[in-house]
A and B are shown apart, each in its own frame.
Chain A
Amino acid sequence: MSDTEHPDTIVKQPAIETRSRLGDVGIDRPAMQYDYTNFYFGTGEDPFALLDPFDAWWSEAEPEGYYQYESPLQSAPSTRVDVLDKKTGEVRAGLINFASYNYLGLSYREEVKEAIKVAVDVYGGGASGSPILSGTTALHQELSEEVARFKLKEGALIFPTGYSANVGTIAGLMRSGDLIVADQWAHASIVDGMILSKATSRFFRHNNVEDLERKLSGFDGKKLVIVEGVYSMDGDLPPLRDIVAVSKKHGARVMIDEAHSAFVFGDNGRGVVEALDLEEDVDIHLGTFSKSLGGQGGYTAGSLKLINYLRGFSRSRCFSCALAPTVAAGVLAALKLAQAEPQLRTRLWDNVRFMKAKLDGAGVPTGVSASQVIPIMVRDDAQIFQIGEEIFRAGVFINPIKYPAVPKHKSRFRMSISAAHTHEDLERGAAIIAGVLKDFGVCP
């Protein structure tokens, strides 16, 4: 049932006792009708003024359902995981894992683990320095060169996280008086980069090229348009060809964050830009190592002039410790595997088609996804945690997502499909999810 099809369930209410309640501001609302946003701002002089009301709310909200976040894994993020049930204190073993990003199943491959072990012996634990000082090792250098080669770009810069890649690139390039226009569903790291840059920031309606054009119009000066390759909450793609055309028409540079699309889209895995033959039309290419490569860190790839400039002006990189050499070694090994084994992408897309067919066949609403990120649309904000608890206990590990991460009444589970899933995993997982959703009336 779509949002507009809700039957008018109006029931005549008893007369509201108004006069007798004047002066009484007691509101009896369950904790689950509140969320983090109710405790974000607070008037007053003391920065700690919100801690007490938040703590009181949290002590009710956590046992009612919020405990489902940060449930500690007791195993590698493979297709089956052991997870601590924070409500009962038991470890739930062998859950089918749809929560981890490990799209190509590389994080626990023997080649990756072996490369990490070798790096431990050579470099020890951490990098012990900023990349611009003592933190760059031969491994970091090799990784940045390999990323540039893979992306067919002149250069690449390695960041300790995907978050810092966006923040450092945007704030490193744009200045007060410039204009940045981003999709309204751009990741928090893009938004934070825009804030740090002090440029004028505008957001266009999701994937709406006409609104992008409106937001670009009438501004004289430097302009940057930012989109994502795959949007992480809906799994949909941008109309990139039209976005590039409008941006060029208005003299704007284009940046794409391919956190969820690099290494999986395109014949060679170079992302949505490769799939749409727009690699030369997009000016700045970002990605992360934590999704498809199952590691950690981020990169920015582009012209050598861009990379050399950002090397000096990306504060999130300059003033952070470099990626641990062990992580760099693992990412490098995973990147080589992703290039050498195109069958991983073939298997991933086969799994995506298989799972979508299973979910569609069971009547599970999956939104507008066109990727390996598949939202399971529940919509009911009040029930999402209860449904999540049932799915968890039935044998599937998948994260509930609710407001403010997504709009009100757009609660969902975010499913990540991996090349490593077997059809048996997917079939069993789809059956469990569909069964629970049916019990709750979410699907037929």
Chain B
Amino acid sequence: MPVAAGLYTFTTGVSAFFEMPTSDARRILPEHLEPVEVTHQRSILAVTAFHFTESIAGPYIELMFSVIVPPVPGRWRQRQHPKAGFYPFLAATSSDESRCHRSEGFSIPHIAEDIDAQFVESAGTLHVSVWSRSGPVVDLTVTQHKWESTTHLLHTFMVDGNRRLKSNLQISGRYTVHENERGHMTLHHHPMTTALTLAEISPYPFREHWLKDGVEIFHPLETL
């Protein structure tokens, strides 16, 4: 049975939030989106990496950089209130097929070259290294807190020319999150990081999410 277009089964996923300059965030975001500021003049860079084992494009690895933005207010009583909003401004994957699928199907900008990655888990710590032929992109370490099963509803915003788009994103799986600032990230100079003022991005994630054995569901794009 073929896998539906918006379904992605993963073994391991990580999403870490870092403070970034609001000036960078505003430069990256389209006009209709505002960055969420964690403190004055400090917005939020989300670095996510997933090891997908099943998707319409086959198994692949994905690295995505997003700016956190406000979600569209939801209907609470229908349990449709999103936890957060993302504007994925640049992604990279480990295969042509996945790159075409994600960039054409969901209007997420991608760099043209393949990436590869290592997900190394040991003693409550996950270390993720991502690289491409241009060199290393990111080394990211997150730590665990308490594991639970969860489903999150998020809003993902994209643009296609003048079209303002949104996709509801459901992520289900085993999940741990904390704000103990125990993780670390090194962002390298790389074609993926040129939009970022690297010296101004905190190397410490103020929130660390780690997911296992779950599913991402990207719902069909809606025009805002």
- Smallest Cβ distance from A226 to chain B, in angstroms? 13
A22 touches B73 (CB 8 A): no
Q: Evaluate contact between A22 and B217: CB separation under 8 angstroms.
A: yes
Interface size on B, residues (CB 8 A): 57
- Contact of A16 with B214 at beta-carbon distance under 8 Å, contacts A44-B73, A53-B74, A191-B40 already known: yes
Question: A interface, how many residues as a size bin?
Answer: 35 or more
Interface residues of A in 22-40 (CB under 8 A from B): 22-23, 25-29, 34, 38-40
Residues of chain B lying within 8 A (CB to CB) of residue A27? 79-81, 151-153, 170
B124 located at the interface, meaning its Cβ lies under 8 Å from any Cβ of chain A in the complex: yes
Whose C-beta in chain A lies nearest to the C-beta of B212? A10
The A-contacting residues of B in range 76-115, CB under 8 angstroms, are: 76-81, 83, 85
Q: Is the CB of B178 within 8 A of A3?
A: yes
Contact with A along B56-81 (1 / 0, CB 8 A): 00000000000001111111111111
- Do A56 and B178 form a contact, CB below 8 Å, given A191-B39, A195-B40? no
The answer to whether residues A3 and B145 also contact, given A18-B215, A21-B170, A56-B76 and a CB cut-off of 8 A, is yes
Given the interface pairs A3-B178, A26-B79, A407-B179, the reply to whether A41 lies near B41 with Cβ below 8 Å is no
With contact pairs A16-B214, A34-B81 given, residues A22 and B124 touching in the complex (Cβ less than 8 Å): no
Instruction: List B contacts of A43 (CB < 8 A).
Output: 33, 69-73, 85, 224
Contact A205 B204 (CB under 8 A): yes
Residues of B25-55 whose CB lies within 8 A of A: 33-34, 36, 39-42
B76, B124, B178: which contacts A57 (Cβ < 8 A)? B76
Which of A22, A25, A203 lies in contact with B7, CB distance below 8 A?
A22
Q: Are A184 and B81 in contact (CB under 8 A)?
A: no
Contacts of B212 in A (CB 8 A): 10
Tell whether A409 pairs with B179 under 8 Å between CB atoms, given A50-B73, A53-B73, A201-B40: yes
- Given A23-B219, A201-B40, does the pair A49, B170 have CB atoms closer than 8 Å? no
Contact of A184 among B39, B79, B151, B168 (CB under 8 A): B39
The residue that A25 contacts in the complex, of B85, B170, B172, B206, with Cβ under 8 A, is B170
CA distance A34 to B73 in the complex (A): 13
A6 / chain B contacts, CB cutoff of 8 Å: 144-146
Interface string of A301-330 (1 = CB under 8 A from B): 000000000000000000000000000000
A88 interface residue (CB < 8 Å to B) = no
Contacts of A10 in B (CB 8 A): 147, 174, 212
Q: SS class of chain A's interface: helix, strand, loop or mixed?
A: loop
For residue B151, which residues in chain A have a CB less than 8 angstroms away from its CB?
A: 27-29
CB within 8 Å of A: which of B134-178? Answer: 143-147, 149, 151-153, 168, 170, 172-174, 177-178
Interfacial chain B residues near A13, Cβ < 8 Å? 149, 173-174, 213
- Judge whether B207 is part of the interface by a CB distance below 8 angstroms: yes
Q: Does A222 contact B (CB under 8 A)?
A: no
List, in ascending order, chain A residues with CB within 8 A of B118's CB.
none
A176 beta carbon closer than 8 Å to chain B: no
- Could you count the A-B residue pairs with CB atoms below 8 Å apart for me: how many are there? 131
The CA of A203 and the CA of B153, in the complex, are separated in Å by 31
Quick one: which of A4, A57, A194 contacts B40, CB cutoff 8 A? A194
Tell me whether A70 is interfacial, beta carbon within 8 Å.
no
Q: B120 contacts which chain A residues (CB < 8 A)?
A: none
A121 within 8 A of B: no
Does A8 reach chain B (CB closer than 8 Å)? yes
Task: Tell me, yes or no, whether A249 is within 8 Å of chain B by CB.
Answer: no
A56–B80 CA distance with the chains assembled, in angstroms: 12
Q: Which residues of B contact A407 (CB under 8 A)?
A: 179-180, 206
The answer, among B36, B143, B145, for a CB contact under 8 Å with A41, is B36
Q: Assess whether B70 is in contact with A18, with CB atoms less than 8 Å apart.
A: no
CA of A23 to CA of B167 in the docked complex: distance in angstroms? 11
B172 touches A409 (CB 8 A): no
Whether A410 sits at the interface, judged by CB under 8 Å, is: yes
Write the nearest CB–CB distance from B223 to chain A, whole angstroms: 14
Minimum CB–CB distance for A185 against chain B, Å: 11
**Which of chain A's residues have a CB closer than 8 A to the CB of B76?**
52-54, 56-57
Residues of chain B within 8 A of A16, CB atoms compared: 172-173, 214-215
Whole-angstrom distance between the alpha carbons of A200 and B181 in the complex? 24
Q: How far is the CA of A198 from the CA of B109 in the complex (A)?
A: 34
CA distance A38 to B151 in the complex (A): 16
Can you list 15 A-B pairs, Cβ within 8 angstroms, ordered by A?
A: A4-B124, A6-B146, A13-B174, A16-B215, A25-B153, A26-B79, A27-B79, A29-B79, A41-B69, A42-B73, A43-B72, A53-B74, A200-B41, A409-B146, A409-B179
Going nearest first, the 5 A-B pairs with the smallest beta carbon separation are A41-B70, A407-B179, A56-B76, A42-B73, A408-B179
Contacts A53-B73, A53-B75, A53-B76 supplied; 20 other A-B pairs, CB < 8 Å: A3-B145, A8-B144, A10-B212, A23-B219, A27-B80, A27-B153, A40-B70, A41-B34, A41-B36, A41-B70, A42-B71, A42-B73, A43-B69, A43-B224, A44-B73, A191-B39, A201-B41, A409-B145, A409-B178, A409-B179
